[in-house]
Amino acid sequence: MVFSKKLGVAAAALMAFAGTAQAQELPGTMVWTSYDVGSAGYAEASAIADAFGKEYGTRVRIQPSGSGIGRLQPLLQGRADYAFLATEAFFLGEGAYDFATPDWGPHQLRAVAGRPAGITLIAAGDAGIETVEDARGKRIAFVAGNPSVNVKCEAILAFGGLTLDDVEVITFPTYSAAMSSMTRNESDATCTTPTTSQLYELAESPRGIHYAPLQADNEQGWDQLLKVLPIMSPSDEDVAAGLAEGETAKMAAYRYPVITTTSDKGADEVYAFIKALDETFDMYKDGTAAMSRWTLERSGKPAIDIPFHEGAVRYLEEIGVWTEEDEAWNQQRQARMDALTEAWDSFKAENGELSEEAFAEAWMARRGEVLASLN
């Protein structure tokens, strides 16, 4: 009996130690990057960081930046652990747009999770923009160095049969400046997630707010949109600045923020992160109007901008969220990324003498060839 009691005490001690070790799986400190202060991404990263601190004692420092490059460089240089990104995750994974330069090119990024988000052409209520087609000749706010916002806007304009030549593009130095420009009457419309704080200010301003609809049954509009950016789908949104309770707005769905890391991030580290994201959900789900969408049944599923990290997949499998279809999607997405990074290595070696503009143009053509070969 004495021996049994000793075994019981030892077992209890081991269990206590295991519990302590589990609680210490997250590092004591982390650095995350996000959109700048006032954005939905910053607010959500802050709410999750606060939950991690309260539950695990992890101190998180968030580095906000108004440009995709500013959010990505710390991650790629090892100065940040995770980045709360928008579509720049897709662009860098493909070496597209601003990243089609000798200094960038395709990178092996991985997703941990990313909540669904709505987007459409969001106009000041007095701008006379009822539909996307009505944006012809209007002032549209773009963000310098931010293909994530700009290319989505280009795609949404294409839904209405418009190109950038059909509107007056006004470029602002930061995301925050662009989003608040309608309230200051410096622009008429922009494209972003409808829960950004500046839009609530617009909705309460004398100008008011209006969401140009992207109807799901407009096949021509969607064909034109997806030719520009093939990562969105129709979505009915019921959480948006100035939207009355019970109403919905016809938008497009993409993933924002996408919690992103690099392919060489340890699987155990990412497993611990997504597990903490899941276990603290009840602590942060009410942090903003859209944070309930971080449940892994929604944020841990394809389609998303880049492949899911193996550590995330392991946890998603354990909790029964990950399916065979999800795994097939992930492998296909990984094969696409592998093909582009392989093509980039040979392309860069052969075209290093080109000017940056000529290099980017030639690479985008080569990228198109690689993607066509995968179909």
- Is 18 inside any structural domain? no
Measure the CA–CA gap between 151 and 87, rounded to whole angstroms. Answer: 9
Per-residue confidence (pLDDT) for residue 225, from 0 to 100: 94
Q: Phi-psi category of 42—alpha, beta or left, where left has phi over 0 and alpha has psi -120 to 50?
A: alpha
The DSSP output letter for 64 is: E
- Is 172 inside any structural domain? yes
Helices of type H across the chain:
2-23, 40-56, 68-76, 88-94, 147-159, 175-180, 197-204, 219-228, 267-279, 281-284, 296-299, 310-318, 324-350, 356-374
Per-residue confidence (pLDDT) for residue 281, from 0 to 100: 98
Where in the sequence is the domain holding 131, given as residue range(s)? 28-374
Task: Specify which residues 284 forms β-bridges with.
Answer: none
- Is 311 inside any structural domain? yes
- Is 71 inside any structural domain? yes
Per-residue confidence (pLDDT) for residue 195, from 0 to 100: 86
- Is 6 inside any structural domain? no
Task: Specify which residues 297 forms β-bridges with.
Answer: none
Q: Give 223's contacts (C-beta < 8 A, 6+ positions apart).
A: none
Per-residue confidence (pLDDT) for residue 298, from 0 to 100: 92
Place of tokens 């160095």: 145
Question: Looking at the 3D structure of the chain, how many domains does it have?
Answer: 1
CATH number for the domain that contains residue 289: 3.40.190.10
- Is 16 inside any structural domain? no
Question: In 3-state terms, what secondary structure has residue 153?
Answer: helix
Contact (Cβ atoms closer than 8 angstroms) between residue 264 and residue 81: no
Question: In 3-state terms, what secondary structure has residue 199?
Answer: helix
- Is 3 inside any structural domain? no
DSSP 202-251: HHHSTT-EEEE---TT-HHHHHHHHHH-TT-EEEEE---TTPPTT--EEE
73 burial via Cβ count (<10 Å: 0-12, 13-18, 19+): middle
pTM to 2 decimals? 0.77
Averaged pLDDT, groups of 10, the chain, 375 residues long: 41 40 72 93 97 97 93 97 94 92 96 94 98 98 88 96 98 95 98 92 98 97 88 88 94 94 97 98 93 95 92 98 95 94 96 95 96 85
Task: Specify which residues 171 forms β-bridges with.
Answer: 142
Place of tokens 């597990």: 275
- Is 49 inside any structural domain? yes
